[in-house]
């Protein structure tokens, strides 16, 4: 299985985190949550968005960004931000990389971004749109990383049963 990792830096909206958790379960991706969180992980809204998949989620919590770095030494981290110069499709995602997304109200802090300009990535948008929804952004970038890794160990074909009319 591709050992991709999604990192949420101080997420604020429980429904977004629930949706992202469900996406991670569906793709075999690990989820990393950097505190403080804007909610409690036992809130109904997280479980509602993540449905019954939340118990199957491989999730790790960190007390802060420094704790995350210390527990994941040498990790290749791509930082999704509207401030990046590189488009998310222009980088080559390693099968064990980490893709970080910032909190809904402010993104990843600039003091972190300025230290990582070469691994900062953006999703193109038109006009003065501030940003996309966090769970949508995660899905867009994660599926590009999965595609580049040939959807390793994922089901690639569906099973369509034809309805026969009598």
Q: Give residue-wise pLDDT tens across range 82-110.
A: 999 999 999 999 999 999 999 999 999 99
Domain that holds residue 124: 5-148
Residue 141 lies in a domain: yes
Q: How far apart are CA 53 and CA 92, in angstroms?
A: 29
112 is in an annotated binding site: no
Residue 100 lies in a domain: yes
Residue 161 lies in a domain: no
Residue 36 lies in a domain: yes
For residue 156, the model assigns a pLDDT of 78
What pLDDT, in 10s, does the model give residues 110-134? 999 999 999 999 999 998 888 899 9
Residue 162 lies in a domain: no
Angle between helices 14-27 and 134-148 (to 10 degrees): 20
Residue 58 lies in a domain: yes
CATH number, domain of 77, equals: 3.40.1280.10
CA-based nearest residue to 5, from 76, 81, 87: 76
pLDDT of 2 strictly over 70: no
Q: Find out whether 43 and 15 touch, Cβ atoms under 8 Å.
A: no
CA-to-CA dists, residue 145 to 27, 59, 83, 88, 142, angstroms: 11, 19, 20, 9, 5
34 is in an annotated binding site: no
Supply the mean pLDDT for the chain: 89
18 is in an annotated binding site: no
Residue 52 lies in a domain: yes
Number of domains observed in the structure of the chain: 1
Residue 158 lies in a domain: no
């Amino acid at each position: 299985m591709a050992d991709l990792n999604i990192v949420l830096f101080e997420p604020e909206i429980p429904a977004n985190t629930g949706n992202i958790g469900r996406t991670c379960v569906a793709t075999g991706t690990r989820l990393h949550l950097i505190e403080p969180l804007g909610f409690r992980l036992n809130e109904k809204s997280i479980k509602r968005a993540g449905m019954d998949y939340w118990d199957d989620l491989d999730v790790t919590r960190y007390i802060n960004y420094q704790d995350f770095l210390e527990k994941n030494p040498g990790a290749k981290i791509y930082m999704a931000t509207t401030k990046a110069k590189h488009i998310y499709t222009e980088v080559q995602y390693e099968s064990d990389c980490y893709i970080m997304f910032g909190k809904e109200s402010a993104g990843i802090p600039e003091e972190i971004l300025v230290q990582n300009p070469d691994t900062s990535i953006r999703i193109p948008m038109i006009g003065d749109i501030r940003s996309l929804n966090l769970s949508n952004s995660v899905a867009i970038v994660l599926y590009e990383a999965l595609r580049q890794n040939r959807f390793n160990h994922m089901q690639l074909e569906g099973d369509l049963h034809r309805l026969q009319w009598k």
